[in-house]
Amino acid sequence: MAIEIKPLEALVYNQDKVDINDVIAPPYDVISSKYRDELYQRSPYNITRLILSNAQDPYEDASKSFEEWIKNDILIRTEKPVILYLVQKYKLNGKEVTRKGFIARNKIEDFSTRNILPHEFTMSGPKEDRLKLTKACRANFSQIFMVYSDPEKQIENAVDLSSAPFIDVTDDNGVRNTVWKIEDEQTIRLIEEVLKDKTLLIADGHHRYETALNYRNFLGENAGEANYVMSYFTNMDDDLLIYPTHRIITKWIEPYVLLETVKKYFDVKDYNFTGANKLEIKKEFLLAIEKSAKNKIAMGLYMKNVNKFYLLTLREDVSGILDGFKVPEVLKNLDLTVLHKVILTKELGFTEEEQMAQDGIKYIKVENEAFDMIDSGKAEASFIMAYPKIEDIKRISTAGYRMPQKSTYFYPKLLSGIVINPLQN
């Protein structure tokens, strides 16, 4: 069975009636209650009112709003089926980074086909919530983030971006999102053909994909349009950047004890700093983590009330310990596997349940926050992880395994409100 891509029978905001800047939002799972209130204030038509309603019955409220917005032409159909091409630009350490991809529909497949591969585990709560919303509104409001491999960059080379974009909006993180409509049949056919023989890796949106599977199965023979789900597709061979998720210890631990613990297994290099040179030393420290991680398992450590950063490079063969935890071979060379099994579980006594529930340990995506929690006294230690390698994710997923919980962070997030995929027959 081949991957089947289709253009979207898209619903989009009517930009004659709303300012697109006021109605977009990040994915529901990164919106705090305070930020939701802020987004609500921007417009009575902000997409948050659909994806994260604050009503007593959020699903019924979302359904009513959705129907009213369509009825009042706040949301309108595109003139013809489209694929949307999205270019996102942002600054990283002073340099501009660009990520390109397209939004279309793909036929939902069970993971057993091996055509679509997950790389992280999911939790039941978010899937139940999203399924209720899907049943109430019969639409995809956000995209699954899919990654494929095409070293020839056929789609990137074929897409014509000379016309005016359909959407040009900068989000609250300073990421510029520019969107073009692809309507010509020749380019659409090319995209369908390029993806046909690919394997898709779910980079982000595992809960949403499994929700789409559950909704399709719930409808059974009557699934119709729900046999497809809206996804964003980006080429891993087009300089795709993946960010790490850092591990923060919030349960009290004596710094000296933790340092002696990691020294059992890691070579440790100190980066001493003062108030005057801390930022400069921090940059040097972060560069050293990435340089070391190219050849070995390496990570950083920063502890409360200690004016040092520590570069940790794995010295000991820990495969015997990992065997005791029944870790598959393909996961043994992963930095997070070693950290979780050897340090957090074996040495510090964190149970699997505590790690899953983030009890005494937190998973932090924003690098600066991982340092700030130590500086503000809100945490005891931060393990600063190296950037994940797409090759590792692909290798692990292809072997039929998944990465540890919260391993990767794909930035920028995909905006909700760019396009909606209705699922009515």
Question: Is residue 187's pLDDT more than 60?
Answer: yes
Question: Is residue 74's pLDDT more than 90?
Answer: yes
CB atoms within 10 A of CB 400: 11
CA torsion sign for 44, 46, 47, 53 is negative
Cβ contact 237:151 at 8 Å: yes
pTM score, whole prediction: 0.84
Phi and psi at 281, nearest 5°, equal -70, -35
Same domain for 235 and 270, yes or no, is no
Instruction: Round to whole Å and give the CA distance between 252 and 312.
Output: 21
Domains contained in the chain, number: 2
Whole-number average pLDDT of the chain: 93
Same domain for 268 and 362, yes or no, is yes
The DSSP result for 17-52, as a single string, is TS-HHHH-B--GGG--HHHHHHHHHH-TT-THHHHS
Same domain for 161 and 292, yes or no, is no
Question: Is residue 356's pLDDT more than 90?
Answer: no
pLDDT of residue 425: 56
Same domain for 94 and 138, yes or no, is yes
Record the tokens describing residue 33, joined without a space: 């209650």
DSSP 112: G
Same domain for 274 and 403, yes or no, is yes
Question: Is residue 123's pLDDT more than 70?
Answer: no
pLDDT of residue 14: 98
Instruction: Round to whole Å and give the CA distance between 237 and 203.
Output: 14
Same domain for 234 and 261, yes or no, is no
Instruction: Round to whole Å and give the CA distance between 308 and 277.
Output: 12
Instruction: Round to whole Å and give the CA distance between 193 and 251.
Output: 52
User: Which CATH number covers residue 267?
Assistant: 3.30.1760.10
Q: How confident is the model at residue 196 (pLDDT cuts 50, 70, 90)?
A: very high
Record the tokens describing residue 244, joined without a space: 């790490």
Same domain for 142 and 186, yes or no, is yes
Same domain for 150 and 44, yes or no, is yes
Domain membership of residue 13 as a residue range: 5-241+411-422
Same domain for 276 and 206, yes or no, is no
pLDDT of residue 405: 72
**Span 214-235, average pLDDT:** 95
Same domain for 166 and 26, yes or no, is yes
Same domain for 116 and 172, yes or no, is yes
Same domain for 249 and 193, yes or no, is no
Listed ranges 115-129, 266-280, 398-412; the one with the highest mean pLDDT: 266-280
**Which residue type sits at 35?**
Y
**Which residue type sits at 374?**
I
pLDDT of residue 127: 82
**Span 210-217, average pLDDT:** 94
Q: How confident is the model at residue 1 (pLDDT cuts 50, 70, 90)?
A: low
Instruction: Round to whole Å and give the CA distance between 110 and 116.
Output: 8
Between 395 and 332, the higher pLDDT residue: 332
Of 183, 20, 210, 194, nearest to 116 (Cα)? Answer: 210
